[in-house]
Amino acid sequence: MQKYSIFSLARNALTRHENWREAWRSPDPKPEYDVIIVGGGGHGLATAYYLAKEHGVTNVAVVEKGWLGGGNTGRNTTIVRSNYLWDESAGLYEHSLKLWEGLSQALNFNVMFSQRGVLNLAHNLHDLRELSRRVNANRLNGVDSEILSTDEVKAFCPLIDCSPDIRYPVLGASLQRRGGVARHDAVAWGFARAADALGVDIIQNCEVTGFQRTEGRVEGIETTRGIIKAKKVGVVAAGHSSVIAAMAGFRLPIESHPLQALVSEPVKPILDTVVMSNAVHAYISQSDKGEMVIGAGIDGYISYSQRGGFDVVEDTLQAVVELFPTLSRLRMLRQWGGIVDVCPDASPIIGKTPVDGLFINCGWGTGGFKATPGSGNVFAHTIAHDEPHPLNAAFSLDRFSSGALVDEHGAAAVAH
Amino acid sequence: MLRIPCPWCGERDVGEFHCGGEAHIARPSGADTIDDDAWAEYLFMRQNPKGSHHERWSHAHGCRRWFHVVRDTDSDQVLAVYLMNEAPPDLPGRSS
Ligand SMILES: Cc1cc2nc3c(=O)[nH]c(=O)nc-3n(C[C@H](O)[C@H](O)[C@H](O)COP(=O)(O)OP(=O)(O)OC[C@H]3O[C@@H](n4cnc5c(N)ncnc54)[C@H](O)[C@@H]3O)c2cc1C
Ligand SMILES: [Zn+2]
């Protein structure tokens, strides 16, 4: 791998930046791999990277039907935090946050991880009690988290309208100072480049259309570029997880919904933290380019169209303008949708499937970007060892039969 | 925006409706004898297809009545509408 540094930048400046090597190869698929990862989003690429890096499994391919990060990885509002309620979730998301903290160095790729803090607002007594409970649970689990009063919210983020006469007044907030945002494309590209350097084949424009199986064991995948054999297959396909599970003959407790986001025209820096409100369904931050990045709640019906309705956008903007009257005359530049894999308990599914050798990592729904490194890390362990890492053992598919759900609706809700 | 044809009020914006999810999920009989997997199938497992989907809608901000819709989840096109007590229509060339 060609290392990126101030020196390589200077050296390449001398040749007008015309001699940079491509960041990863685009090989033709080999006839067989030890492990194939289906889905070239952040989670799939991270899985391949950690398989090679931590488990010495380098005969690996990542097969992506479109382009890298063209799914939810490149469509999300990039909020990263770990202040989830239950011990299982705190363990998993905090593991991920710790990996984020060293990720740019580990990958030699600037993922622009910016720990600017994440505020979760409370607008009624119930919100406030729920937030206090969650903050206390977080602290017991060693996750940094604190409660702010209305005055402290105003001091921390002056842009929020904290007056008592708005429709949903701000009664307080929780703050995770180590939370923040990262650059979504860079996360996909950084993992891809580092995985490629360790020998992983990244195969784009290659759609999986079926599985080869004998006696309940997976033997390979059928794709638009032919059959590729594999000893093990890991499916990390977000909104398309149910479609791929159906190809392998089993069902998931997942529903795929559109989730929309939008960005405004760029303005000078005015918002230096991330603000989320579950009650009014809005979350917002400002990108380094100056755009306000705004996320909505899911559209209420199943869809794979990567489009949502304007009614949802309108609801979100009403809430944003009520909280930030300053923004009322900003024009919106772009709006888009991703297809999120919503799980009944708002927690992911990471582990084995009814088909031997076939593993699945899905159900991250509206909030999996923050988990990208941690998810890839524990999923790589699960595939390499044929059994879950202690941090994802609770997130198996059979929790829907055993009843041991990990209900994170309070922490996940609309927001991330 | 998605427009949903209410059998009573006609085609209206999706914002007036509430989607009740997959239709025709039968509650298993023998509640005291079936095993946990059967309950999981009923409670949690869903078809979630990319294609024709039979689903329930309620005209929440209109006549408040429930009905069935068949919709293509890839194009969001509504393919058929039928009442709660009706059987799903045959749609030529499509499997459910
Ligand atoms: C608008 C929006 C805002 C969000 N905001 C946040 C946020 O602020 N914070 C947060 O933590 N999370 C957020 N999320 C959720 C987050 O984006 C996802 O949970 C996460 O990115 C999922 O990553 P992934 O790699 O699993 O999926 P994806 O990036 O979707 O990757 C899956 C890949 O699988 C590929 N694929 C599918 N079918 C096939 C096939 N048959 N063959 C080959 N490849 C296939 C797809 O093309 C896709 O590239 C948001 C999501 C959206 C849509
Ligand atoms: Zn009606």
Contact A401 B36 (CB under 8 A): yes
Has residue B8 been placed in a domain? yes
- Of the bound ligands, which one is closest to the alpha carbon of residue A362? 1
Ligand 1 mutation pick, A37, A64, A76, max ligand atoms within 8 A of CB: A76
Give how far B58 is from chain A: nearest CA, Å: 12
pTM score: 0.97
In a domain, B89, yes or no: no
Domain holding B73, by residue range, is: 3-23+40-83
Q: How many domains does chain B have?
A: 1
Kindly give the distance from the C-alpha atom of residue A90 to the centroid of ligand 1, in angstroms, as a whole number.
21
In a domain, residue B32? The reply is: no
Residue B76 lies in a domain: yes
**B12 found inside a domain:** yes
Digitized pLDDT (tens) for each residue of chain A, 416 residues in all: 889 999 999 999 999 999 999 999 999 999 999 999 999 999 999 999 999 999 999 999 999 999 999 999 999 999 999 999 999 999 999 999 999 999 999 999 999 999 999 999 999 999 999 999 999 999 999 999 999 999 999 999 999 999 999 999 999 999 999 999 999 999 999 999 999 999 999 999 999 999 999 989 999 999 999 999 999 999 999 999 999 999 999 999 999 999 999 999 999 999 999 999 988 888 999 999 999 999 999 999 999 999 999 999 999 999 999 999 999 999 999 999 999 999 999 999 999 999 999 999 999 999 999 999 999 999 999 999 999 999 999 999 999 999 999 999 887 755 44
Instruction: Give the one of B15, B48, B74 whose C-beta lies nearest to A309's C-beta.
Output: B15
**Ligand 1 centroid to residue A109 C-alpha, Å:** 20
Q: For ligand 1, which residues put their CB under 6 angstroms from it? A: A 38-44, 63-66, 70-73, 75-79, 207-208, 236-238, 240, 244, 259-261, 295, 338, 340, 364, 366-370, 416
Does any domain span residue B47?
yes
H/E element, B56: strand B52-58
Indicate which CATH number applies to the domain containing B54. Answer: 3.30.2270.10
Is A242 an 8 Å CB contact of chain B? yes
ipTM entry? 0.95
Q: Considering the domain boundaries, does residue B28 fall inside one?
A: no
Residue B67 belongs to some domain of the structure: yes
Indicate the burial class of A202 (C-beta count within 10 angstroms; 0-12, 13-18, 19 or more): buried
**Is residue A310 within 8 Å of residue A303, measured between CB atoms?**
no
**Residues in Cβ contact with A388 at an 8 Å cutoff, skipping those fewer than 6 apart:** A350, A351, A378, A381, A382, A395, A396
Q: B21 has which bridge partners?
A: B56
